[in-house]
Amino acid sequence: MKVVGGQRGAYRPPATVPPPLRRGPVLVTAVFAALGGAVIPAAALPGLWRIWQLYAMLFGAVAAVGIVAVVAVSGWPTRKTAHFGALAAFAGFALWVLSRPLGLLTRLDPWQPADTVAGFTDWVAAGLQVVAVLGFLVVARRRAHPWPSAPRRVAAWIVLFPVVVAVLATGVAGTVAAGEGSTGTAASTLLDDGPGTFEYCRPDGIPLAMDLYRQRTGGPAPVVLFLHGGGLVLGNRKPGGPGALLAGSWSGPLRDELIARGFAVAVIDFRLAPAAPWPAPLADARCAVRFLKANAAALAVDPARIAVWGSGTGGTLAALLGVARGPDTGQYAGQDSTVRAVAAVAAPAGFDLAGLDPLTRASVLMALGRSPSTLRAASPLTHAGPGAPPFLLDGGRKSAEFATRLRAAGVPVTEGPSSEREVADFFAAAVG
């Protein structure tokens, strides 16, 4: 018997350190997924902080724990750190479930700042967290030794390498999209500084921004409101960067041509699907028109001469402002959202699921769902009738049929491919 502390006792072997886990493709995939799932909400923290600091601190704490777990499992890959990584990733996923599907964080939607460029960015973060949880749990259940043969390791990397790349690319794209909404000049609620970036509406506690471009001299100017494309799922108001790339056509030359002719040009962000279901983007566009009318004096614009121009599904929203007489409720009571002219470029005039290619069909389902009533309500073709302002239509699904119905109702319609100068001529003639 061995004497321990002056007394006889049983022999106690020295404690052994658990052997490290292999840094194989499954562990690497889980690490990249957990990192992306944590960094995406972290990138949107500046925007969330401007809305409500309590939610920002909560999301920041969960993101910080997730990043610490990634560092721990990357540097010391043991079963304990793998379990820690799985628990941290699950906490991030649980926060998404509580705030989005369950809607228990009721003051406002804390994921909205991350969804300003792509309306499904929060789903990307949640999906990455699920991949991370599963990956860490699989790694933790494996034996650390013996190491597999070199051919088996090479084969595993070959099989899972596309998955690793896809997870990494998804995390990077989600981080860029989430961070894009937090960059640039913050929207101001003060209107006495002249043209700039303003908060034009705050639906459900979410501030929405408008950029106003115009000449610094002259009296009240007619204004053209621009609505970006992107399938109601992608894009933002900015003239450059990821949001502009995803939004499709954003014609800076047309903006400059209009400004040179004495117009003001307003460009807005609006809520995106699936984060904000229909009719949220149309309600935001209506609110933007009411904002311009309610603050016309401070903005030096003419409330009686407001037109709207959009590309892609932004053109669809523009057309709906012209033909759909919806309710004007919410902010700026006493104002309406009627406009004097509409230009819709490459804008779908009707939504149905028949005859669509798979990508377009998926976009429509994500933006509008499959309810026939919603698809009809979102289609300008459904609302074509008398009393609409002059239209310029430049392509788009069912655009010709829409033009025919407008003409039958006595609405002036201009069709065909149009240059920037021709579109500016149309607004000058229709709005003056």
| pLDDT digit string, tens, across residues 333-371 | 889 999 999 999 999 999 988 878 888 889 899 999 989
Q: Where are the domains of the chain?
A: 25-180, 197-431
Could you tell me which of 390, 396, 400, 388 has the C-alpha nearest to residue 426? 390
Window from 3-17, 52-66, 256-270, 366-380 with minimum mean pLDDT? 3-17
Question: What is the spatial distance between Cα 115 and Cα 44, in angstroms, rounded to a whole number?
Answer: 9
The neighbouring-strand residues paired with 3 are 8
| pLDDT digit string, tens, across residues 379-423 | 999 999 999 999 999 988 999 999 999 999 999 999 988 888 999
Q: What is the pTM of this model?
A: 0.88
| Inter-helix orientation angle 53-75/79-99, to 10° | 160
| pLDDT digit string, tens, across residues 82-121 | 999 999 999 999 999 999 888 888 778 899 999 999 999 9
3-state SS, residue 286: helix
The neighbouring-strand residues paired with 413 are 391
Identify whether the C-beta of residue 392 lies closer than 8 Å to the C-beta of residue 311.
no
User: Assign residue 248 a region: left if phi > 0, alpha if psi is -120 to 50, beta otherwise?
Assistant: left
Identify whether the C-beta of residue 84 lies closer than 8 Å to the C-beta of residue 239.
no
The neighbouring-strand residues paired with 208 are 201
Domain 197-431 homologous superfamily, CATH: Alpha/Beta hydrolase fold, catalytic domain (3.40.50.1820)
Question: What is the spatial distance between Cα 223 and Cα 18, in angstroms, rounded to a whole number?
Answer: 69
Question: What is the spatial distance between Cα 28 and Cα 70, in angstroms, rounded to a whole number?
Answer: 10
Token pair 């890959």: residue: 77
pLDDT for residue 2 is more than 70: no
| pLDDT digit string, tens, across residues 121-172 | 999 999 999 999 999 999 888 755 456 667 777 777 788 889 999 999 999 9
| Inter-helix orientation angle 121-141/150-180, to 10° | 150
Q: What is the pLDDT of residue 12?
A: 60
Q: What is the pLDDT of residue 251?
A: 75
